[in-house]
Amino acid sequence: MKTFSIGGIHPNDNKLAANSPIEQFPLGESVSISLSQHLGAPAEPIVSKGERVKCGQLIAKASGFISANIHSSVSGVVKSIAPHPDIIGNMVPHITIDVDSRQEWIDGVIESNEILREIHLNPKEIIERIAEMGIVGLGGASFPTHIKLSPPPGKKAHFLIINGAECEPYITSDYRIMVEHPEEILIGAKIMMRALGVPKCIIGIEGNKRPAIEAIDGIASLKYPQIKVVPLKTRYPQGGEKQLIEALLGREVPSMALPIDVGVVVQNVATALSVYEAVQKNRPLIENFITVTGTSHSIQKNLKVRVGTKIDSIIEKLELPQEPLMKVISGGPMMGKAISRLEATTLKSTSALLFLTAKESKRGEESNCIRCSKCVEACPMGLEPYLLNKLARANRDEDLEENMVQDCIECGSCSYVCPANIPLLDTIRLSKSKILKLLRSRPKK
């Protein structure tokens, strides 16, 4: 099986929720929808307090080039437009909507579950529709999808890659949608192929998700010959764009370049599904799939949750035991973020809620670097994390730039393997953002 060539680790995959079918999470009393759910400037609200909104109604418009529309995930009355803490405790403007009992959808949305195979729109209309429906990349970075599907002038895409690697331990939401909605994902991929004008599409899925490979390959080989399913050797961070492109095509994305520079566009499977819903069913992105998991309790679920649902209400409804829990992580254990405010709400890109006990989340005590070079072996970008960490602590910016700190993908493999428990990624991440700022401030040649 294929995989990327340098670095990588193989943590215990702990896919505990893999066999739990997707369940609809019931609506609460209210939702608070963040206006900053994508990379780039926050969206601007277009509704006012007291206004009645329907499910799927546009409530905030994209502002600026890299931005995405935001739609109401429920029908009800706008209660307030005010700052509310996000998962890391920053106050971000949110639109809070009180849920009513009617749950009306806006006109034009197809609510049936019937699979619509015919694609009627032309490429330009597809991209417009995706922008209108507020689709963002659901793999983690929340980059607006319509921008990714419109390559800058002079660059052309030759391949579309659908990322079904889901290399993070614990998370199973992508796996479940691949098993339960394989054909929708394939149609979503076809829509994006048409938008980009590319003839070929590859879906990369890790080998530990056999049923997903079978489900998608079974339909693709019969009905969609342009789409190829490629099984990959299970290895973290396979789902990183650059790693996935190298694993599937053998092409290396140069430093500071984007996948489009080697003629590739990468989209997540969940994004493909939401593109299908947007283009074929006129459904904006108001729901996403969240894995709720952890080793300390028996509750292992894959939920379909409306955007803006409070995280503490999910904990309450599922009756998760409070006692041995210590840390709640949004996303996976490798790249996810610890939630410091449980009153924060889910975003379009929330993929998992992982509950860790005090024992699991405890960091080991830091000791001196013993120069074992495990971090160098683990780094999928071929960097030297032990060196970057030293340079970062000494603020040696020029040396950091020379040693390519800007190429770090923040996968955390170095911190994971370090036998001295050095928080390598913490210091490297900070200097990476500093160096990137420095590089961007320089005039382009």
Partner 1 sequence: MSSTIFITVAALTILGFVLALILYLVAQRFYVKEDPRIDIVESILPGANCGGCGYAGCRAFAEACVKEEDLSSLFCPVGGNEVMAKVADSLGRAVVEKKAQVAVVRCSGSCENRAKTNHYDGYTSCAVMASLYSGDTGCSWGCLGHGDCVAVCEFDAIAMDPTTNLPVVDQDNCTACGACVKACPKEIIELRNKGPKNRRIFVSCVNREKGGVAKRSCAVACIGCYKCQQACPFDAITIENNLAYIDYNKCKLCRKCVPVCPTNAILEINFPPKKPVEEKRVETL
Residue 85 contacts partner 1 per CB under 8 A:
yes
The residue range among 87-95, 103-111, 275-283, 398-406 that interacts with partner 1, by the rule CB under 8 A, is: 87-95
Single out the residue of 115, 362, 398, 439 in contact with partner 1 (rule: CB under 8 A). Answer: 362
User: Using CB under 8 A, which of the segments 49-57, 120-128, 217-225, 419-427 binds partner 1?
Assistant: 419-427
If one asks whether residue 341 binds partner 1 (CB under 8 A), the answer comes out as yes
Q: What is the DSSP letter of 82?
A: E
Q: Which residue from 439, 438, 418, 429 is spatially nearest to 393, judged by alpha carbons? A: 429
For 428, residues 6+ apart whose C-beta sits below 8 A from its C-beta are: 385, 388, 389, 392, 405, 408, 410, 414
Residue 53, both tokens: 């909104």
Given candidates 46, 121, 338, 438, which one binds partner 1 under the rule CB under 8 A?
Answer: 338
User: Under the criterion CB under 8 A, does residue 200 sit at the interface with partner 1?
Assistant: no
> From the list 363, 371, 442, 445, which residue makes contact with partner 1 (rule: CB under 8 A)?
363
**Does residue 89 belong to the site contacting partner 1 (CB under 8 A)?**
yes
- Binding of partner 1 by 433 (CB under 8 A): yes
Q: Taking CB under 8 A as the rule, does residue 430 contact partner 1?
A: yes
Question: Based on CB atoms, which residue is closest to partner 1, 363 or 444?
Answer: 363
Closest distance of CB 340 from partner 1, Å: 5
Minimum Å gap between C-beta 142 and partner 1 is 17
Radius of gyration of the chain from Cα atoms? 22
> Rounded to 5 degrees, what are φ and ψ at 310?
-70, 135
CB environment 3-25: b (16+ within 10 A), e (fewer): bbeebbbebebbbbbbebebeeb
Q: Count, in order, helices (H) and strands (E) of the chain.
A: 14, 17
353 and 314 in contact (C-beta within 8 Å)?
Answer: yes
| SS3 readout for 295-345 | CCCCCCEEEEEECCCEHHHHHHHCCCCCCCEEEEEECCCCCCEECCCCCCE
Residues 336, 237: Cα–Cα separation, whole Å? 13
**Of the candidate residues 263, 429, 436, 438, the single one contacting partner 1 (CB under 8 A):** 429
Smallest distance from partner 1 to CB 73, Å:
25
Between 142 and 302, CB nearer to partner 1: 142
| 61 or 341: CB nearest partner 1 | 341
Residue 83 in contact with partner 1, rule: CB under 8 A: yes
Rounded CA separation 137/66 (Å)? 12
If one asks whether residue 337 binds partner 1 (CB under 8 A), the answer comes out as yes
Query: Of the two residues 28 and 85, which places its CB atom closer to partner 1 in the complex?
Result: 85
Size of the site for partner 1 (CB under 8 A): 18
85 or 140: CB nearest partner 1 = 85
Taking the C-alpha atoms of residue 325 and residue 323, their distance in angstroms, rounded to an integer, is 5
Report the nearest approach of partner 1 to the CB of residue 303 (Å): 24
What tokens appear for 408 in the block? 């770090």
Distance CA 376, CA 380 (A): 9
91 binds partner 1 (CB under 8 A): yes
Cβ closest to partner 1, residue 87 vs residue 244: 87
Q: Minimal distance in Å, beta carbon 90 to partner 1?
A: 5
Measured CA to CA, the distance from residue 245 to residue 264 in angstroms comes to 8
Binding residues for partner 1, rule: CB under 8 A, are 83, 85, 88-91, 337-338, 340-341, 362-363, 423, 426-427, 429-430, 433
